[in-house]
Amino acid sequence: MNILVTGGAGFIGSHVTNLLINQGHTVEVLDNLSSGFRENVPPSAKLHIMDVQSPEASALIQEKRYTALVHHAAQMDVRRSVSDPAFDVQVNILGLINLMEAGRKSGLRKVVFASTGGAIYGEPEAGPQSEIHPQQPLSPYGISKLTSEKLLHFYYHEYGIPYVALRYGNVYGPRQNSHGEAGVIAIFSERLLANQPTIIHGDGLQTRDYVYVDDVARANLAALNFNESPTAFNIGTGVETDVVTLHRKLQEALGIHRAAKHGPGKPGEQRRSVLDCTKADDGLSWKPEVSLHEGIQRTADWFASQKIGD
């Protein structure tokens, strides 16, 4: 396939780009480098430094006539979406419309969309949450991702462009940018290595489903090869871990033992999230392969290799 990966210079997108290239696909990357880095893009993938909302991005898609769009570019920060919901809408909703309008005019044949598991469902009525769990997002970020899924359904119904939405748990791993994407594992790793205080917001017993980035990249590859009716799949582990436990595991992996401080809770964040991924196993033949213990050790080793704090 001839594939455009938006956000391909970022954390998740760059891992997806690498895997797709390794599988023999022709891949180009669109990224405005607001949180991504040039060095994350492999030499064989041409980098287009553009914003998803721009006329230039639309023109690129119409000129190159990509077979598939793997859409990871987004405003990803739940807290920023609460403080600035208009910006969230501009990037996540209007940006998607800009790309899809270009795609429908240029023969786009497949979309894989990076959605969200926890933020779409809101506080769980029961857990793990399956894809049919009520969708009651508690933040503009979750609302924008759910709206994007509905928009993709419109483009399928109206223009015949099939899609797969991947509803991620909390993705972690090497290359995560603690400043741009606010991943708690990246934040804790950097601050522990830099001998700076680590802050747990609230009591730290809030839970998330942490899924390793290589597993997420494999899910994207499986979604590209999925040829049935458009749908959404949860991509997680089915295991929930609280923040206090996560901090302890990172200390052990880094060999740094320093207690965290507790600060006030953050608005827009839910208390609990854990995903039922049975549907992905059945439909995509996908299941996570990297345990939290192994994934945290790999991630800690990567951050230590970057000599954070030197």
DSSP for 77-95, please give it: -HHHHHH-HHHHHIIIIIH
Q: 99: part of which helix (H) or strand (E)? A: helix 95-105
Tokens of 152: 């993709």
CB 210 within 8 A of CB 185: yes
CB 198 within 8 A of CB 247: yes
CB 162 within 8 A of CB 109: yes
Q: 158: part of which helix (H) or strand (E)? A: helix 140-159
Q: 185: part of which helix (H) or strand (E)? A: helix 184-193
DSSP for 290-310, please give it: S-HHHHHHHHHHHHHHTTTT-
What's at 50, amino acid-wise?
A: M
> Residue 229, exposed/middle/buried by CB under 10 A (0-12, 13-18, 19+)?
exposed
Tokens of 93: 């909703």
CB 31 within 8 A of CB 47: yes
Cα–Cα distances in angstroms (integers) from residue 106 to residues 30, 61, 62, 68, 253, in the given order: 17, 7, 5, 11, 48
Which residue is associated with the tokens 């709206």?
147
Q: 70: part of which helix (H) or strand (E)? A: strand 68-71
Residue 141 designated active-site? yes
Selected catalytic residue, list 66, 121, 141, 210: 141
Hey, which residues are catalytic here? Answer: 141
